[in-house]
Structures are given as structure tokens and as C-alpha cells.
Structure 1
Amino acid sequence: MDLSRFPRRRYSHGATPLEFLPHFTKALRASCDVGGGPNVWIKRDDMLGLTPGGNKTRKLEFLVADALAQGADTLITCGAPQSNHCRATLSAAIKEGLKCRFVIEERVPGSYKPDASGNNFLFRLLGVEALSVVPAGSNMLEAMQQVAAELAKEGRKGYIVPGGGSNAIGGLGYVACAQELQQQFFEQGVQIDKIVVGSGSSGTHGGLLAGFLGNRINIPLIGIGVSRDPADQDPLVHKEAQAVADLLGLDMTIPREAVLSFGDWWRPKYSVPNQAMVEAVQLLARTEAILLDPVYTGKIMAGLIGLARRGFFKRDENVLFIHTGGAPSLHAYESEVLGLTRLPA
């Protein structure tokens, strides 16, 4: 698939590392009663560019290029109070000399605090131009369109970046990642049997799926939901993957059965910590010195661990974990992640 016809900005230098996790693999196997556990590899998309990386960077390379092509002077986006996506969008705006405004959805009542640490601190440090807070369930597109209308009255032009960067243009970032992985598998002589990826706004999962099918990469993608169960999540991923395939001009219908996700590790609510997440964050930190975040990657790795203990992965299978970043939000959950606060299982 030829991505060169789409405008793209570059915020990272070269491919992110593809690494084996020997100490984590050993620790995971020791905890598996069924099957003995897989070999675990990691794709370090937490090391992408934009203060300090994460999966949103790949999407923003295409989205910001589109914004610039349309003559925008301000990026408008939305997210939760500790949104990695908002932080990355603000970082991209700074790189391009643009302004940036947020609409923050308070998905858990009372969770937004102006003086909070983590990504919220970075919003202030990086200099977001304006930020509005709306209650859970608000129509986020309408809220962002209102911001764009306010800018238009000032003679400015806003560009709406969807939540999570998840639309067909943003999904191109993970088509590019699929191609990058294919090259790394070849160069490093690595055979991966399954890939575990976070499934939230669906841009990463759907973009990868379209990229894998379009490039004939026959490796199952296992989504771990961070906010929904499969009945609600899988249709979103399928829709995103099809939209990306259509944008690329592929004569392809995404098979429904190609979308697989699990929803067992996101509860009690999106962004609310649980004990499985804490175990996952601590285990990777203490075996490989790699940081996960409480909202996304901690729960996604909890899913990988949980599936391994169920015997979902065969012994000695090579399972790749896509690390989508998010470490700044750790500082907003220090007590929980250190095990000082009692949490649900």
C-alpha cells in the first residue's frame, strides 16, 4: 500500500524498537498454571516523538498534515482529564507553531482538577490556549464545533482532531506501523504468533487491522478493551478498519471475524484503577524497567497476563505487546499504582 500520496509530518526518527522481554516472560511463566505461558515481545511506541511519545504520535503525523493543508492555525481536540491524546496534540501544535484548545470530558464525575499532576500538569506547562470541561455523555463533536465557531468569529481557523485521533486519516498512522513491523520482523528474523493491542477509540486497533490485511500480514490481533465490552467495541473497530481501507482505495471488505477483543480488564470504569492493572504496571517496571500507565497500557497488559494464565496463548508462542505510551499519567495515580490504596480486583 502506498502511503506517499497522503500528506504527512514526521515527529519521530526511525522505527521504534521491537524487543524481547526475557525477565517479564520468566515471571509471567512462573505465574501460569495453564500451558506455561508465551514469550513476550514489545513494540516500543511509547518511544515515539511528541512529549513523550505514544500511539497518538503516529496518527497526528497524518492529521496535522491535513490541518496544515487546510490552512488551520489552531488544533481543537477532546479527551478525558488525563488524556494522552490531548497532550500529544498540544505538543504537535507547538512543533508546528499552532495554537491548541481542548474540550475535556469529565467521564468520572469530579475527576477533573485544574492543579492535578500527570498529563493535566503538562497541559499547563506546554501552554494550552484554552480548555473547557463538559460532563460525561456530552456530544463532543458539537462541543468542538462550538470552539471552532468561536475561533471563526475571531478570524481564525480551527481544525478538529477527533478524540484519540481516531478517524480514517489518523488510522493511516497504524497502517504505517503495520508496514514498519513487517520490515522489522524480516530484518530481525522474528516470527510473531499473536499481537495484543489496546482497543479504545479504535484508531490504533482498526488502523493496524486494515494495515495487516492490506499488506497480507497473517497475524491475529487481540484487542484488550479499555472502556467497553466486545459487543460494543468490536463494531467500532470494524467500522474504523473499513474506513481506513476505503480511504486507501483498497478493494476489500474487512471480515467481521477479523475483529477480536476482550473486555474483562477495564472495569469498574474507564480510567478507574483495578488490582490487575496495578500488578501489570508493577511487574513490567520491576522486571524490565518499562513504565505502563494506569488508564490504558496497564489494563492492556493486565489483559495479556490474564489471557496467558487462562491458557489462551500456547507455551513458547511469540506474543507481541504494542506499548502505546501514557507514562505521564502515572504521577496522577501514585498511591494506587504503589499498592497503597485498596482497589477492586
Structure 2
Amino acid sequence: MNLAKFARRGYVTAPTPLEFLPNFSRALGAGVSVYMKRDDMLPGAGGGNKTRKLDFCVADALNKGCDTLITCGAVQSNHCRLTLSWAVHEGMDCHLVLEERVPDSYNPEASGNNFLFQLMGVKNITVAQKGTDMMAAMQKVADKLSAEGKKPYIIPGGASNALGSLGYVSCMEEIMAQVFHIGLKIDHMVVPSGSAGTHGGIIAGMIGNNIDIPVTGIGVNRPKLVQEQAVLTVANASLELIGVDVRVLAEKVVAFDDYVGPGYSLPTDSMVEAVKMLAQTEAVLLDPVYSGKAMAGLIDLARKGYFPKGSNVLFLHTGGSPALYAYLPTFRQGK
């Protein structure tokens, strides 16, 4: 695969660490060794996986002469935070459309990413009700800005289109170079699965490079079959964009929905356990929406024997820890 033919802004200046978690692995007590790909340490205000995707998307926007970024997400969206941060870096305006996936959940005075939106000078926030056609809502904002003489560029939620997902095709190549360098055999990979671009990009990267490592996605919002189809669609769109003739088979895509709990972004006991466990064994901060629920899935699956004893399991940490500060009551209960 030749990713060099696609324009990037160079936001990812060095590989993120790939670390063994010895204390966590011991505390887990499941006979597996857990490693972590630290994409929480990517550049951008607060870090996180969307920087890899925006590296490609913002380059496309600038190449098209755009001066404004428009994107969408939930009310505490890490993707929106990072899109805004790179817009600021590039001297571009940024407009956000936030979906209240939990009714009445948007609070402009909230901490976490809501605070960072204001701190970094977001131009405007439009709040949409749950179930809104978010592409249509963003297009409405774009039409208004175009009429005012601006040149807007719409980035879909999570930057999860074929172009954005190239960030995780590239990440998979980066991971394989790292494990080769240190002489590590990875037996299984666990990834958060939300807007599908990260999960889909990882799978596309494996298919395109003839890598046969099982990948388990831990869904954070949609039913299993819906999520798996979304991941499959993005993965194949990425391979088509790159020019790889092979396509992903449906059976290669696994995205459990057992750890979503009562709904997207709503706390679960297993998420709280996972966040506290990582903080207290490795001083690693997970977020309550994506990496926290994904790690809850890894913990439960490991305890149930899903990974054979002696396995090396790699967890992709997608970042998002600034959102923790919007969940203080959740973590302070029952201290």
C-alpha cells in the first residue's frame, strides 16, 4: 500500500508508545499479558485517536481552499475537541453540531470537553436532538457560512470516512513495525468501536498488509449487527480508496455490544471498575465513553477465558481523558 500519495498535515510526528502493562496484567489474573498502544498520547489539545484521521481530512480541506471546519459529535465529543484544536492550529474557524444523544444532556457550563470548546474559541455550537440527521444539520451550517462568503469543509462524525480511516491503516503499519522491532508476537487486538473509522481502519490495515491477527471491537453505541456492518463498510471503502483489490470478509469484523450499558455515554459499573483499575495499577487515564467501556469489555472477556492463557493482547487506547472531568460524581460515589 502506498499511503504517501495522500496528503497529510504531519500532525503525527512520531510513533505513539506501545507499552506492556505488568501491574494491570497481574491484577487481571487471567493468564494473559496486556499491552497498550498509547494513542491517548497523540498531539492535539488533550490527545486522542482522531488526530490520526484529521491529519488526512484537514489536509484535504486546505488543499480545497477551505477556511472553516464543520463537524459533529455528542455533547462531550473528543472528536469535536480535536477538530477544533487543529482548526485553531491551522488558523481556521470551527463550527460544531452537538447531538444530545441523552435528552437534555448539553450543558454549556459543564466541565470536560464542553469547557475546552469554549476555551479554544469555538465559533458556534448548534445543539441537535437525538436522532437528527447530522449530515443534513452540518450542511445547513455550511450553506449559511457559504452565503456569508466562507469556504466550509464538512468532516463527518469521528472523521470516520474512507479518507479519515487511513489514519488507522497507517497506525496498523506503525504497530507492526513496533512489534517487529521489539520482537513481540501479538495474539489478539481489542479496540473501541464507535463511529467505526478507527476499527475499520485497523482491519483495512491488516487486510492490506496481509496481517492475520484477530481484532475484537467493543461497541459503545449501536447494536452488534449494525455496528459490524458500519465497520465493514468503512474498512472496504478505505481499501478501495487506497487501491487494494482485496475486500474484508464479514466474519473478520467482530463488535460486541454487551458493554454499552443503558446507552451511549451513560456510566456502567464495569466502566468505572476499568477506569479505576487502570488508574490504580498503571496510572493510565481512560475515558468514560470509549476507552473505559472498551477496557471493561477486555477485562470481562479475559476473565471468561476468551483469550487463551499465555496470550499477548494489545489494547488500543483512543484517548479522551478530558471527558473524565464531566463525570466526577460517577467516580466519587462509593470511594
Which TM-score applies when normalising by structure 1?
0.96
The aligned counterpart of 1:75 is 69
The aligned counterpart of 2:129 is 135
Aligned letter for 1:153? Answer: A
Q: Tell me if 1:308 matches 2:302.
A: yes
- Cα distance in 1, alignment partners of residues 264 and 322 from structure 2: 17
- Aligned pairs (5 A) from 1:309-328: 309-328=303-322
Using the TM superposition, give the Cα deviation of residue 339 of structure 1 relative to its aligned residue in structure 2, in angstroms. 3.2
Aligned letter for 1:337? Answer: F
Q: Is the 8 A contact 2:12 2:43 kept in 1?
A: yes
CA deviation string 1:79-98 (max 9, x = no partner): 11100000000001011110
Q: Is the 8 A contact 2:44 2:82 kept in 1?
A: yes
Q: Tell me if 1:260 matches 2:254.
A: yes
Aligned letter for 2:285? Answer: L
Q: Is the 8 A contact 1:45 1:55 kept in 2?
A: yes
Q: Tell me if 1:235 matches 2:224.
A: no
The aligned counterpart of 1:19 is 19
Q: Tell me if 1:61 matches 2:61.
A: no
Q: Tell me if 1:98 matches 2:92.
A: yes
Using the TM superposition, give the Cα deviation of residue 37 of structure 1 relative to its aligned residue in structure 2, in angstroms. 3.2
Using the TM superposition, give the Cα deviation of residue 250 of structure 1 relative to its aligned residue in structure 2, in angstroms. 0.6
Using the TM superposition, give the Cα deviation of residue 68 of structure 1 relative to its aligned residue in structure 2, in angstroms. 0.4
Q: Is the 8 A contact 1:37 1:309 kept in 2?
A: no
- Aligned pairs (5 A) from 1:1-345: 1-29=1-29, 36-340=30-334
Which TM-score applies when normalising by structure 2?
0.99
- Cα distance in 2, alignment partners of residues 100 and 57 from structure 1: 15
Q: Is the 8 A contact 1:21 1:41 kept in 2?
A: yes
- Cα distance in 1, alignment partners of residues 334 and 288 from structure 2: 14
CA deviation string 1:177-216 (max 9, x = no partner): 0110110011111110000001111000001100011011
Moved over 6 A (4+): none
- Cα distance in 2, alignment partners of residues 301 and 284 from structure 1: 9
Using the TM superposition, give the Cα deviation of residue 340 of structure 1 relative to its aligned residue in structure 2, in angstroms. 4.1
CA deviation string 1:253-281 (max 9, x = no partner): 21111101111101110000010000000
User: What root-mean-square deviation, in Å, do the aligned CA atoms of Structure 1 and Structure 2 show?
Assistant: 0.9
CA deviation string 1:121-160 (max 9, x = no partner): 0000000000110100000000000111011111111000
CA deviation string 1:27-48 (max 9, x = no partner): 001xxxxxx3311000000000
- Cα distance in 2, alignment partners of residues 77 and 61 from structure 1: 15
CA deviation string 1:32-68 (max 9, x = no partner): xxxx331100000000011121110000000000000
Aligned letter for 1:156? Answer: K
- Cα distance in 1, alignment partners of residues 31 and 207 from structure 2: 27
- Cα distance in 2, alignment partners of residues 134 and 45 from structure 1: 29
Q: Secondary structure at the match of 1:117?
A: coil
% identical aligned pairs:
56
Q: Is the 8 A contact 1:194 1:221 kept in 2?
A: yes
- Cα distance in 2, alignment partners of residues 13 and 174 from structure 1: 15
How many residues get paired?
A: 335
